[in-house]
Amino acid sequence: MMVAGSNPAWVTMDNPKYSVDQTILINNFSWRVAGYNFRFGKEWQYTLQLELTDGTYKTIYLNETAIDEIVDTQSQGEDPII
């Protein structure tokens, strides 16, 4: 049983779902997991980076739930986790 505002038992600081250097396909762009941290003592936040053609990077920060939602809504013919 979960109490409102509590975390599932599997959400701990020891087991992030996505690892550094793993690639996640979002809108046909390969975003690299550049890092992650455990925010607010309750959720993983991931730093995703996309290298642009001029050598610079675009950076976004997403929590695990947001990444899971994006991955779940990808086309059925694609494997969003590389």
**What's the domain range around 33?**
17-55
Whether residue 8 lies inside any domain: the answer is: no
What confidence score (pLDDT) does residue 45 get?
A: 96
The length of the chain, given as a count of residues: 82
| Contact indicator for 36, 16 with CB cutoff of 8 Å | yes
Strands 23-26 and 29-39: antiparallel
Q: Strand ranges (DSSP E) for the chain?
A: 23-26, 29-39, 43-51, 57-63
pLDDT tens digits, 28-41: 899 999 999 998 88
Whether residue 82 lies inside any domain: the answer is: no
Strands 57-63 and 43-51: antiparallel
pLDDT tens digits, 4-26: 444 555 555 678 899 999 999 98
Kindly report the pTM of this predicted structure: 0.72
Whether residue 22 lies inside any domain: the answer is: yes
Q: What's the CA gap between 64 and 80, in Å, rounded? A: 14
Whether residue 37 lies inside any domain: the answer is: yes
